[in-house]
A and B are shown apart, each in its own frame.
Chain A
Amino acid sequence: MLTFRSVRASSARAVLWTLLFLLAGSPARAADTRLEPAIRDSHFIFTGTFERLGASNLSLLPASEETAIVRVREGVDQPETFGSTRDIEVTVKLADPSGAVEGGQAIFFTTCLMFGEHLGLAEILRLPSRTPETEASDLEQVRKEVERVRSLEADEDLSARLSSAAVVVFGRVGDVRKTERSEEDFGEHAASWALAKLEVEGTLKGGETNAVYFAQDTDFFWGSTPKLAAGEDGIFLLQPYRGRDLPEGSYVVYDALDVEPRTELERVRRLLR
C-alpha cells in the first residue's frame, strides 16, 4: 500500500469530470496524465460501493442530496493512520450526485471533510466501474499512476530542499555539542540548538563546511526536525539560517528531508543535475 505524501492544491475537478466521461467510454483505461491532479489532491483513494444515497453516518454532517454512504472495498492510497479501511462505511460528499446509484461501484478519489464516528470525505473524482471484467485492470492502472505521482511528489519535495540548501554534503556526524540557550531572552519556541561536526566525505553542492546546527527539542514545535547523533551516516542538506539565536552564517538541518540516507545518493545526484 502506498503511503500518504504532502498535500498539493489543484483545481482540476472540471477537467477530471471530462476525463471521467472520456474514460468511461473507452475499452481500456489508458494511463492518462490528467489523472495526476486528482491524485495530488486526494488523500484517500479507494474502491467502494454506494450503500445509501442521500444518507450520512456522521452526526455533524447532515444527510443531503450530495451525501452518500459508501462501503470501502479496498484502500488504494491512504494515510497510515487510517489503519484497515476494508469494509468500513464512510460518508462521501459527492462532487456530482448524478450518476451515483445504490449498489454502484467506483474508484473514489477523496479528501477528508471530518473525522467523527466515521470518516467524512469530499469526492474529487469518481471512476465508475465499467464491467467486472475491466475492474481489475482499471484498478491496476490507477495503482500504477498513484505510485508514479507519489514518487514524483517525493522528488519535488526533495528537489525543493536541495534547491534551498547552500551546501549538500555526505559523510558522517562527528562530535555533537549542545549550545547555551536562554529561554528568558529567546522565548519558549526558540530551538535548543546543538552543533554537529561533520566528517565530510564528499560535497554535492556548495563550498566547504563541516558544521551544522539542529534543534534538539522534542516538543511539538520542533519534534519533526532532524536530530543528529555522533556516528550517523548520511547526506546532509545544509540550509542557511538568519535567526538571531545562531551566529550569522550558520547552517541548519531543519526539515525531515534535510538528512537523507546514503542509499539516496544517486537519487540526490540525479535531482541536483
Chain B
Amino acid sequence: MKSLKHFFPMGALAFAFLGLSLLGSHPAAAQKVTVVDMMPSSLSDDQADQSEANIAVDPASPSNLAASAFIINPVKPSEASIFLSSNGGLSWSLKPILPGSTSVCPTSFCDVTLRFGGTSGKLYVAALTAKPDTQSDGDIMVYQINRIDDLFGSPTPVLLEERTGLIPDCPDQPYVQATTTLGGEGTDLDRVFVGVNDARLARVPQTATVDVNPNAAATSPAMDLEQKIEAAMPPNPPGRDGSAVRTAFHSSGVVYAAFYSPTSNSKTNIVVVRDDNWGRSMPPFSDLGGGSGVSVVAGTAYSGGGTTLAKQRVGRSQISIAVDPNDVKSVWLAWGDANGQAPITLHLRHSPDGGLSWGDKDLWTLGFATNPALAVNSIGQVALLYQQVDQLGLWETQIGISGDGFAVPPVPLVLSIADSSSIAFGANNFIGDYVHLMADGKNFVGAFTALNKPVPGNFPDVEDLVFQRFHDNVKIYKDAAKTFSIPFSIDPFFFRVEMALSDNDFFVRDWTEAGSHDPGLEPSSHSVFYKTSDVWNRADNVSGSPATTAAPPHVDPQPGQNFAFVRVGRKAQAVAGAPDVDVLPHFYYADFGAGLPYKDAGVVAPLPITFAANQKELTLPDGQGYEWTLPDVHSTHVCMGVELDSVADPFANPSLKNRVPGWPTLDTAVLYDNNKAQRNIIFPEMKVMSKAHYYALVRNAASVTRNVCLRLDSPVSILSSYTSIQIDACGIATTSYRPGSTVCLPGMTAGEVRALKVTVDVPQSAPGADLALAFTEVTQPGPAGKPRDGFAISPVGTTVDAAAVANLKFQVAVFGRLAALYGDPAAQYWTTKTRDLLASGFTLSQYVAFLQQVRPYLNRLTDLVPRSTSTCAPSPYGDLDRLHGAIQGADPQLIVPSHNDYLQTLDVVITLSQIAVNGPGA
C-alpha cells in the first residue's frame, strides 16, 4: 500500500536522505491509516487557525478519546473546550469543559495536554490560562492540572494543582502523562506526571520540573509533588531550561524524564533522568548517572529563540521520550537541535540499559523537521511522528514505524502535505510546539495540526480520510449546501495507524459460554477469563469438535502423552482472493494456581492453522492436536496457556513462556492481548455427598512483599449447589466462600508460594453441571479490584465406584512422581500395581483390599517428601492418619474421600518441595 515517498530535504542532507530512503524498509506491518479533521460540521464556518493538538485514548475504553488544540469556542470564549469522541476517533464534538483565559491566550486554553488514567476512566488535563494582573496590565499565567470525572456524562473538574507567575516568569508547557498502578504498592491508584518548565523566578535557572501526583484519582487529591529534576547545572546557564520537559513511565513504576539543559544561549545538553519509584524517590529522579542523570549529547548547538523553520518557530520544545511497555530498560529519545545545516534537525537514539548509554550515532536523523513524538506499541514496534518541510516548501506530517529498532530507517507514511505558502501559515506558531503520538495496543494513534484543504492527494498514505466540515474534496464550505466556500485554515487532525486489520486480527476467546463468547476484545470483558477459554487438553488426538458457541471439552492432563487444542477466531473475513494466512499456536502449561510461570509444552514446532480468505474460525483438527508430554515428576493439576503468532498479528511480547500472567511482569498479557489465553481449571472427580478438599498454589510474583488477594467470583446460582465451601490458607482464618468477597493472603514475600485449600461437601448434581469455584487474583479487595490472573476448581460429583477409580488414577500420578523424583522402589512398585489394578478393573471390595496392601507403605512414601521448614506449608500426615483409620475400618464410603484428601495433600506437598528446591516452573 505504501510507496516510497518524495522526501528530499534541502541542502547537503538531500543526498544522504535519498540514500536512506532507498535503503529504507517498509513500515512495520502498517495496515491502514485513518485521518480525521476534528472540526465538527457545526463549526464549518470557523476560519480561525487551531494549532498544537494533543490527544488521549482511554485505555479502559479505547473507543473513548479526548483531544485538545488552541481553539476558541466561538460561543463561550471564556470557557476552555476539548474535543470528544466515543467511536474511536471517527467523529468528534467540541465541548466546553473548564474556565478559560480572561486576557491573553485568547484560545481559552494554551499549551493543553491531556491523558486518561489507566483504568479509572478519569481524564487529566494540564494547561495554561491567563488572567489580568490586578496590580498592572501584565498578565498572570495560571498553570493548572485538572481531573475531569464523568467526562462523557456530566464532566466535573477537580483541581489537582495550580501555580501562577507573572508573565514571562511563569510555569510553561505542562505535558501530562497518566496511568493506573496495576500492582504492588499503590495498586489501582492513578499516577500523574507533568513535565513542566517551571520558570517562576524562585526556580530559575533550574526550571525543568516534573509534577508528580501519586494518587490523583482520590476523592480529595493532594496537590502535586513539585520534583525539580535538574540536579547538575552546567556552568553559566541562561535563565531557564528548554521549554519541553517530557516524561515516560513504565508499569513497574519507573519514570523517565528528558529535557534541554542549556549551557549557553547557543549550546545545550540533552539530559535524561530516571526515578524508579513512581517519581517519589528521595531525591527525586536520581536513579540514573549517579543522581544527576545522563547527557545523551553534551553541548549540542541549540536552535534558540527566534529560530524558525518555514515561518514556524522551533528550537526549544522538540523533545520526546518513550519506554517499551515490555522492557523497562528499553528507552527511546528524539530531540531537535541546530547540529546540522537545517534550522532544526531531529535525532533518534535508543538506550537498551535504562538510560545509561545511548550510543554515539543517531538511529535516524531528520533535517528540516520538528515536533517529534515517540511511542512504542504492545508488540515493541517503535513509531516516530514528526513534521518536516521539503525543498518544495511543503509541510509534511509523517510517521516512521520500525519493527527492527530502526536498524534500517523506515519509509515514513505521509499523513498530510500542505503548501507552507498558504496564508494559514502566517503566524509564527501555526502548527504548534508539539504533536502527540501514543500506542493503543498494537496500533498507533495521534494528533497533529495541518492545513484543512480536503484534497485526498494531500493525505497520500491515508486510506480513510474524514472531514467533518462541509466539503467537496476540493474546497471547504460554511454551509451544508456547499454554496459558500471559505479560506483554508489550520485544523487539528486525529489519526490512527492500524498495525493489525480486522481480517488479520486472530484471537483466542478468553471465555466461551452457552450462547455467547469473547469476540476478541482487548482487554477481555469477562472477569473469569481462565475457566472456559478456547485452549484445552485431550487425552487423545481428537479435539472433541466443540460447537461454535459451546465451551471446549477439556480433559485434565495425565502424566505422559497429551494433546493440546485451540480454537482460533478472526475478527473479519478477508476479501475474496486474499492469500491464506498461517497462524501458529504455541502451547504452555504451569502448576495449578495463580502467579506461577508457564513452561513450554514442547519443543516440536506447532503446525500452522491455515485460514482461507473466507474463514473466520478454525479449530486444530483431529489428528493435528499438539502432542505434548506431562513429565512424570509434575503434578497433573496444571494450567494451560496458548499464544498465537502470525505475520501480521504477532503476540505481544513478552511471551507467556517462563513468565507469569499477573502483576508485574505480564500484567496485561492475557487480558489485554487477544492472541493469548489461559485455562486454569481442574475437574477433580469426587464421591457425592462427601467432604473433600483440593489445593491451588498462589504465588506472589511481585518483587515486593504484598497481600495477594483472590476474589470469589462464582455466582450464587453455582454456590447454591453446595452445602459448605471452606477456604484455608496460611495467614487467614477458615473462610466460607461468599460470592464477590475477597480473600487476601497477607504478607506474602516476593516469590513466596502458598497453598490454598478448598474443602467442599461434594454436591449431587446433574452430569455436566457447572460447579466451578472461581478465584480471581485481583489488585485489591472489593469491586474496584482489577483481575490479573485466576483459577477455578470444579468438582465432579460421582458414585463411590467412579470416585475410587479417580483416586487410583490420581494415585498413579502422585506415586509416579515420588518414584521419578526419589527413585524409590516402593513408589515405583505401587505405581505399577495401581496401574495394573486400574487396567484389570475392580470392585469396591478389591479397592479396599488393595489399599490395605498399600497401607504399610504409606508412611514410607509420605516420608520421601522433604518436610518443609515453613510454618505455612501444609502437612500430609493428618490426612494420612485419617486414611489409615478409614482403611482399618474397611468402609469404602469413608475410604474414598480420605484417600482423595491424602493424595491431594501429598501432591501439593510434593509440588511445594520441588518449588523450594528449584523455584517455580522448574
Structural contact, B44 and A242, CB atoms closer than 8 A: no
Structural contact, B95 and A43, CB atoms closer than 8 A: no
With a CB–CB cut-off of 8 A, which chain A residues contact B107? 220
Q: Which of chain B's residues has its CB closest to A182's CB?
A: B305
How far, in whole Å, are A98 and B556 apart by their CA atoms in the complex? 66
**Least Cβ distance of A262 to chain B in Å?**
22
Q: Which chain B residues numbered 35 to 68 have a C-beta less than 8 Å away from chain A?
A: 40-47, 49, 51-52
Contact string against B for A residues 243-271, beta-carbon threshold 8 Å, 1 for contact and 0 otherwise: 11100000010110000000000000000
Structural contact, A187 and B240, CB atoms closer than 8 A: yes
How far, in whole Å, are A181 and B168 apart by their CA atoms in the complex? 12
Structural contact, A117 and B42, CB atoms closer than 8 A: yes
Contact among B76, B103, B139, B197 for A111, CB-based, below 8 A: B76
Given contacts A181-B306, A221-B105, 13 further A-B contacts (CB under 8 A): A4-B75, A80-B74, A81-B45, A81-B46, A88-B480, A115-B95, A116-B40, A116-B41, A188-B305, A218-B428, A221-B104, A224-B104, A242-B133
Structural contact, A217 and B428, CB atoms closer than 8 A: yes
With a CB–CB cut-off of 8 A, which chain B residues contact A60? 84, 86, 93, 95, 152
Q: Which of B12-20, B169-177, B248-256 contacts A (4 or more CB under 8 A)?
A: B169-177
With a CB–CB cut-off of 8 A, which chain A residues contact B239? 182, 184-186
With a CB–CB cut-off of 8 A, which chain B residues contact A118? 41-42
Contact among B40, B173, B484 for A117, CB-based, below 8 A: B40
How far, in whole Å, are A219 and B70 apart by their CA atoms in the complex? 10
Q: Please tell me if B780 contacts chain A, counting CB pairs below 8 Å.
A: no
Structural contact, B169 and A220, CB atoms closer than 8 A: no
Q: Please tell me if A59 contacts chain B, counting CB pairs below 8 Å.
A: yes
How far, in whole Å, are A18 and B70 apart by their CA atoms in the complex? 40
Structural contact, B86 and A43, CB atoms closer than 8 A: no
With a CB–CB cut-off of 8 A, which chain A residues contact B96? 112-113
Structural contact, A221 and B110, CB atoms closer than 8 A: yes
Contact string against A for B residues 810-848, beta-carbon threshold 8 Å, 1 for contact and 0 otherwise: 000000000000000000000000000000000000000
With a CB–CB cut-off of 8 A, which chain B residues contact A104? none
Contacts A184-B238, A187-B199; A219 near B313 (Cβ below 8 A): yes
Contacts A187-B199, A188-B316; A114 near B95 (Cβ below 8 A): yes
With a CB–CB cut-off of 8 A, which chain A residues contact B478? 83-84
Contact among A183, A240, A244 for B137, CB-based, below 8 A: A240
Number of interface residues of B (CB under 8 A): 74
Q: Which chain B residues numbered 312 to 336 have a C-beta less than 8 Å away from chain A?
A: 313, 316-317
Contact among B42, B52, B172 for A189, CB-based, below 8 A: B172
Q: Which chain A residues numbered 173 to 205 have a C-beta less than 8 Å away from chain B?
A: 181-191
Interface range, A side: 35 or more
Contact among B94, B137, B306, B426 for A241, CB-based, below 8 A: B137
How far, in whole Å, are A146 and B663 apart by their CA atoms in the complex? 62
Q: Please tell me if B243 contacts chain A, counting CB pairs below 8 Å.
A: yes
How far, in whole Å, are A88 and B479 apart by their CA atoms in the complex? 10
**Least Cβ distance of A51 to chain B in Å?**
17
Contact among B91, B103, B173, B305 for A181, CB-based, below 8 A: B305
Q: Please tell me if B181 contacts chain A, counting CB pairs below 8 Å.
A: no
How far, in whole Å, are A252 and B480 apart by their CA atoms in the complex? 44
How far, in whole Å, are A83 and B481 apart by their CA atoms in the complex? 12
Structural contact, B313 and A220, CB atoms closer than 8 A: no
Structural contact, A225 and B479, CB atoms closer than 8 A: no
Q: Please tell me if A206 contacts chain B, counting CB pairs below 8 Å.
A: no
Structural contact, A114 and B137, CB atoms closer than 8 A: no
How far, in whole Å, are A208 and B320 apart by their CA atoms in the complex? 51
Q: Which of chain A's residues has its CB closest to B264's CB?
A: A184
Contact string against B for A residues 70-90, beta-carbon threshold 8 Å, 1 for contact and 0 otherwise: 000000000111111000100
Q: Which of chain A's residues has its CB closest to B207's CB?
A: A187
With a CB–CB cut-off of 8 A, which chain A residues contact B93? 58-60, 114-117, 120
With a CB–CB cut-off of 8 A, which chain B residues contact A83? 44-45, 478-479, 484
Structural contact, B42 and A116, CB atoms closer than 8 A: yes
With a CB–CB cut-off of 8 A, which chain A residues contact B429? 219-221
Contacts A182-B265, A243-B166; A7 near B172 (Cβ below 8 A): no
How far, in whole Å, are A183 and B103 apart by their CA atoms in the complex? 22
Q: Which chain B residues numbered 763 to 817 have a C-beta less than 8 Å away from chain A?
A: none
How far, in whole Å, are A262 and B78 apart by their CA atoms in the complex? 29
With a CB–CB cut-off of 8 A, which chain B residues contact A97? none
With a CB–CB cut-off of 8 A, which chain A residues contact B135? 242
Contacts A112-B96, A116-B93, A185-B240; A244 near B428 (Cβ below 8 A): no
With a CB–CB cut-off of 8 A, which chain B residues contact A35? none
List, sorted by A's number, 15 A–B pairs whose CB atoms are closer than 8 Å.
A7-B78, A79-B74, A81-B74, A83-B484, A84-B479, A183-B305, A187-B168, A188-B305, A189-B141, A191-B167, A220-B49, A220-B105, A223-B106, A241-B136, A242-B135
With a CB–CB cut-off of 8 A, which chain B residues contact A108? none
With a CB–CB cut-off of 8 A, which chain A residues contact B649? none
How far, in whole Å, are A114 and B199 apart by their CA atoms in the complex? 35
Q: Which of chain B's residues has its CB closest to A242's CB?
A: B136
Structural contact, A187 and B197, CB atoms closer than 8 A: yes
**Least Cβ distance of B371 to chain A in Å?**
14
Contacts A189-B167, A221-B104, A223-B427; A254 near B137 (Cβ below 8 A): yes
Q: Please tell me if B433 contacts chain A, counting CB pairs below 8 Å.
A: yes
With a CB–CB cut-off of 8 A, which chain A residues contact B313? 188, 219
Which residue numbers of B lie inside 8 Å of A, CB to CB? 40-47, 49, 51-52, 70, 73-79, 84, 86-87, 91-96, 103-107, 110, 128, 133, 135-139, 141, 152, 166-170, 172-173, 197, 199, 238-240, 243, 262, 265, 304-306, 313, 316-317, 426-429, 433, 468, 478-480, 484
Q: Which of chain B's residues has its CB closest to A8's CB?
A: B78
Structural contact, B75 and A112, CB atoms closer than 8 A: yes
Q: Please tell me if A119 contacts chain B, counting CB pairs below 8 Å.
A: yes
How far, in whole Å, are A80 and B105 apart by their CA atoms in the complex? 20
Q: Which of chain B's residues has its CB closest to A79's CB?
A: B74
Q: Which of chain A's residues has its CB closest to B169's CB?
A: A244
Q: Which of chain B's residues has its CB closest to A84's CB?
A: B479
**Least Cβ distance of A120 to chain B in Å?**
8
Q: Which of chain A's residues has its CB closest to B317's CB?
A: A188
Q: Which of chain A's residues has its CB closest to B133's CB?
A: A242
With a CB–CB cut-off of 8 A, which chain A residues contact B484? 83-84
How far, in whole Å, are A188 and B138 apart by their CA atoms in the complex? 16
Structural contact, A186 and B104, CB atoms closer than 8 A: no
With a CB–CB cut-off of 8 A, which chain B residues contact A239? 136-137
With a CB–CB cut-off of 8 A, which chain A residues contact B70? 220
Q: Which of chain B's residues has its CB closest to A43's CB?
A: B75
Q: Please tell me if A164 contacts chain B, counting CB pairs below 8 Å.
A: yes
**Least Cβ distance of A117 to chain B in Å?**
6
**Least Cβ distance of A156 to chain B in Å?**
15
Structural contact, A242 and B166, CB atoms closer than 8 A: yes
How far, in whole Å, are A217 and B49 apart by their CA atoms in the complex? 15
Q: Which of chain B's residues has its CB closest to A112's CB?
A: B75
Structural contact, B42 and A186, CB atoms closer than 8 A: no
Contacts A59-B86, A60-B86; A252 near B75 (Cβ below 8 A): no
**Least Cβ distance of B126 to chain A in Å?**
15
Contacts A7-B78, A117-B42, A219-B427; A189 near B95 (Cβ below 8 A): no
With a CB–CB cut-off of 8 A, which chain A residues contact B426? 218
With a CB–CB cut-off of 8 A, which chain A residues contact B305? 181-184, 188
Structural contact, B240 and A243, CB atoms closer than 8 A: no
How far, in whole Å, are A244 and B152 apart by their CA atoms in the complex? 43
With a CB–CB cut-off of 8 A, which chain A residues contact B306? 181, 183
Q: Which of chain A's residues has its CB closest to B49's CB?
A: A220
With a CB–CB cut-off of 8 A, which chain A residues contact B170? 187, 189
**Least Cβ distance of B125 to chain A in Å?**
17
Structural contact, B137 and A184, CB atoms closer than 8 A: no
Q: Please tell me if A17 contacts chain B, counting CB pairs below 8 Å.
A: no
**Least Cβ distance of A29 to chain B in Å?**
26
How far, in whole Å, are A221 and B172 apart by their CA atoms in the complex? 12
How far, in whole Å, are A97 and B695 apart by their CA atoms in the complex? 62
How far, in whole Å, are A272 and B478 apart by their CA atoms in the complex? 41
How far, in whole Å, are A190 and B138 apart by their CA atoms in the complex? 11
Q: Which of chain B's residues has its CB closest to A258's CB?
A: B137
Structural contact, B168 and A189, CB atoms closer than 8 A: yes
Q: Which of chain A's residues has its CB closest to B306's CB?
A: A183
How far, in whole Å, are A48 and B199 apart by their CA atoms in the complex? 51
